[in-house]
Amino acid sequence: MYKQILSIGIIMTVALSSCSVSNDADTILFNGKIVTVDENFTIAQAVAIKGERIETIGSDSEVLRLSGPNTNRIDLQGKTVLPGLIDAHLHPPGAAVSELSEEIPDVHTLRELLEYIEKQAEEKEKGEWIIHPRLFPTRLREMRQPNLDELDLVAPDHPVFLNGGYGGMVNSCALRNSGIDRYTKNPGILKDPETGEPNGLIRFSAFKLIEKTMPDRTLSYEQELDALEKMIRRYNQVGITGITDGTETTQAGVRQYLDLKSRNRLSIRVNVTVRTPEYESRDHFLNELTQLGFYSPFGDEWVKISQLKSSIDGGILTGTAYLREPWGLKAKEIYGIDDPEYRGIVKVSKDDLFGMASVANEIGWKMTAHVTGGGGVDLLLDAYEGADKESPIAKKRFSIIHGNFFTSEAIERCARMEVISDMQPAWFYKDADAMNYILGDVRIKTFLPARSMIDGGMMLNGGSDHMVKFDSYSSTNPYNPFLGMWVLITRTTERGTVICAEEAISREEALKIYTINNAYGTFDEDIKGSIEPGKLADMIVISTDYLSCPADSIRTIQVEETILGGLVVYSR
């Protein structure tokens, strides 16, 4: 499975002894800058590996004493070594198959989008669907969806679906195919206020009406498994050695990772998220969790179940996030929302959330939830506080996935209960300009305020929410960790704007978010997240000195080698 390649191009071998067990190190990396990310942020020259674990760190002279005749000595020639990077929230199974049939365009303007749809219409038979699996209009330069007339002009005979996850846009052909007209009653179908006819904008409650007429793409289990393995290899290329699959899976969803592991094809450490059962009553919910047959955390250092996840609201890019205040006047312009009091959607009641949190706390599960608006953050914290009054949740590592909008009050509540923020810095990169335009100068100050969150005593985890496309930079949600760190350090957006520069954090703090903090979030801080004796030998060799290079060079840092358990799983 693993390419065992020596750093700087020499073949890496594992020291074996046929007659006795040697005390010599298997591998020593020396003459480098080893950024340990330990408690003191120690910088060393060398690190020794024995088996799958780190034996010692220190100066060249200290560590090379552990060298024997079979030790693999790697001269780093001054290069920097970091702990293996961890992505706290992404969706590998879906991402793995997203571009198997064709590349998904990375469009930035309405013109590029419409040209893509027109080309698809020319190439496909009449009646075939044209689908963009993740299109967010706020990320287009014009910050709007194409309207019905524009879509009908470029694809009059093809149903078109621009899927934004919690909202989207379809053309007239798609509406006809799905049997949707002015008489269709569904809150997810937006209509022209004057004519009463559907205007093409839809919310996720109407997705089933659209999707039932779309073609199914059936892949065999082995095809899905191969695609997942290749996606994991792409993660290795950008230094990722550990992930939390944020897909709300069931027991069967763990099988792919376990099968890759059993076949010696898993080149990453995986934490899996379990979907909360439907909440009908406390006893029913407790019984459903008990029937799962496992708990949090459950598994080993390769595949582990770490958290229970609910879903509270929609998304900021479709105007369905649940905010503290109404979305405002710009909501109609961007999302087609007419109601001036509209704050977004809520998918679970406060009482049910409290019930889930209370049961999870009682039986030892870590709980988390998808929430993207500030109102949703407060709702979830209310539930957590209710559970905390019954029994402290501090050591359970409850968290908030996304969250996005944190006031000083929310930060204080999180810090007091030790609730972790599972944030996506690349969302700031992609979406801060749009949020600034839509929400204004005051509310934008609460959008991923990393400096305030750290200073307020919060633990931050870093993830990407990667779900579509293969490339680490051009994916709908980019998954390159160095891009995420650069965003946290510079507060710079894709459009080159610096927003709320006072919320920037240091390089050391950003690196911790993608290493030891993420390990802590999954109860793994004793085995990974830093380069320390006794921990798993997960580390990366990089092309640039992360701590001293120009800030703008951070986002383009290349990974020379990714080492997992002492073995090289990627070499550039």
- Picking from 59, 92, 177, 55, the residue whose alpha carbon sits closest to that of residue 475 is 92
Q: Which two tokens stand for residue 306?
A: 């770490």
Instruction: Find the mean pLDDT for residues 447-457.
Output: 98
Q: Region 333-347: what's the mean pLDDT?
A: 90
Question: Which H helix or E strand runs over 473?
Answer: none
Q: Are 135 and 168 in contact (CB under 8 A)?
A: yes
pLDDT above 80 (res 145) = yes
Confidence of residue 331 (pLDDT cuts 50, 70, 90): confident
Does the pLDDT of residue 249 top 90, yes or no? no
Q: In this model, does residue 5 exceed pLDDT 60? A: no
Question: Cα–Cα distances in Å, from 26 out to 16, 63, 78, 510?
Answer: 8, 12, 21, 31
Q: What is the pLDDT of residue 563?
A: 98
278-295+307-528 domain in CATH 3.40.30.10? no
What is the residue-wise DSSP string for 261-319?
HHTT---SEEEEEEEPPP-S-HHHHHHHHHHH---SSEE-SSEEEEEEEEE----GGGT
Averaged pLDDT score across all residues of the chain: 93
- Residue 87's pLDDT band, with cuts at 50, 70 and 90, is very high
**Is residue 257 left, alpha or beta, with left meaning phi > 0 and alpha meaning psi from -120 to 50?**
alpha
Prior bond of 449 cis (ω within 30°): no
Q: At a CB cut-off of 8 Å and minimum separation 6, what does 527 contact?
A: 301, 519, 535, 536
The percent of residues in the chain predicted with pLDDT above 90, rounded, is: 85
Report residue 215's pLDDT band, with 50, 70 and 90 as the boundaries: confident
SS3 173: helix
* Interval 53-76: pLDDT, tens: 999 999 999 999 999 999 999 999
Q: Please list the residues that pair with 58 across neighbouring strands.
A: 46
What is the predicted pLDDT for the residue at 21? 58
**pLDDT value of position 306:** 87
Alpha carbon distance 166, 187 (integer Å): 13
pLDDT band at 36 (very low <50, low <70, confident <90, very high): very high
Residue 23 tokens read as 């005390």
How many DSSP H helices and E strands does the chain contain?
18, 24
Q: Measured on CA atoms in the order 128, 132, 137, 141, is the torsion positive or negative?
A: negative
Report which of 143, 138, 134, 148 is spatially closest to residue 189, judged by C-alpha positions. 148
pLDDT score recorded for residue 250: 62
Whether the per-residue pLDDT at 3 is higher than 50: the answer is: no
Contact call for residues 44 and 36 (beta carbons, < 8 A): yes
Enter the pTM of the model. Answer: 0.93
Residues near 556 by beta carbon (within 8 Å), at least 6 away in sequence: 482
Query: Per the structure block, which two tokens stand in for 174?
Result: 């798609």
Range name among 38-52, 326-340, 537-551 with the lowest pLDDT average? 326-340
Residue 7: the pLDDT is 41
Tell the residue number behind the tokens 């085995």, with chain if given.
527
Name the range with the highest mean pLDDT among 3-12, 180-189, 323-332, 450-459. 450-459
- Of residues 90, 232, 86, 33, the one with CA closest to residue 525: 86
Identify the CA nearest to 210 among candidates 153, 172, 157, 249.
Answer: 172
Q: What per-residue string of b and e applies to 411-426 under the rule 16 or more CB within 10 Å gives b?
A: bebbbebbbbbbbbbb
Q: What's the CA gap between 515 and 512, in Å, rounded?
A: 5
CATH architecture of 105-211: Roll (3.10)
Lowest mean per-residue pLDDT among 19-23, 277-281, 506-510: 19-23
Mean pLDDT of 350-374: 96
Is 50 exceeded by the pLDDT of residue 16?
no
Confidence band for 19, pLDDT divided at 50, 70 and 90? very low
Confidence of residue 6 (pLDDT cuts 50, 70, 90): very low
Q: Report the chain's C-alpha Rg in angstroms.
A: 25
**pLDDT confidence tier of residue 296, bands split at 50, 70 and 90:** confident
| pLDDT at res. 374 | 98
The whole-angstrom separation of Cα 368 and Cα 360 is 10
Residue 530 near residue 36, CB atoms below 8 Å: yes
Range 505-511 average pLDDT? 98
The answer to whether residues 337 and 191 touch, using CB atoms and an 8 Å cutoff, is: no
Please work out, in degrees rounded to the nearest 5, the angle formed at the alpha carbon of residue 71 by the alpha carbons of 66 and 75. 90
* Nearest CA among 200, 207, 132 for reference residue 169: 200
Alpha helices in 372-477 (DSSP H): 374-390, 408-417, 425-443, 450-455
Residue in 518, 453, 454, 511 with CA at minimum distance from that of residue 484: 511
Give CA–CA dist 414/440, Å, rounded.
25
Dist. CA 322–CA 234, nearest whole Å: 34
Query: For residue 518, what are its two tokens?
Result: 């993420």
Residue 564 clears pLDDT 50, i.e. is over it: yes
Q: How far apart are CA 354 and CA 388, in angstroms?
A: 10
* pLDDT of residue 123 exceeding 60: yes
| Angstrom distance (rounded) from CA 231 to CA 219 | 16
Fold topology of 1-83+531-572 = Urease, subunit C; domain 1 (2.30.40)
Residue 401 DSSP code: E
Instruction: Evaluate the CA torsion angle 500, 503, 508, 509 in order and state its sign.
Output: negative
DSSP string of 17-71, one letter each residue: -SSS---S-SEEEESSEEE--STT--EESEEEEETTEEEEEE-HHHHHTT--TT-
**Domain parsing of the chain, residue ranges:** 1-83+531-572, 105-211, 278-295+307-528
Residue tagged 């905390």 (tokens): 388
Residues 369 and 400: their CA atoms lie apart, in Å, by: 6
Mean pLDDT throughout 154-160? 97
* pLDDT of 17: 38
DSSP-derived pairing of the beta strands 80-83 and 46-50 = unpaired
Share of the chain above pLDDT 70, in %: 96
Residue type, 51: G
Region of 404 (left: φ > 0; alpha: ψ -120 to 50; beta: rest) is left
**DSSP per residue, 177-192:** HTT--TT---TTEEE-
Q: Is 28 within 8 Å of 74 (Cβ atoms)? A: yes
Task: Dig out the tokens for 241 from the structure.
Answer: 């050695």
Closest CA to 462 of 478, 485, 445: 485
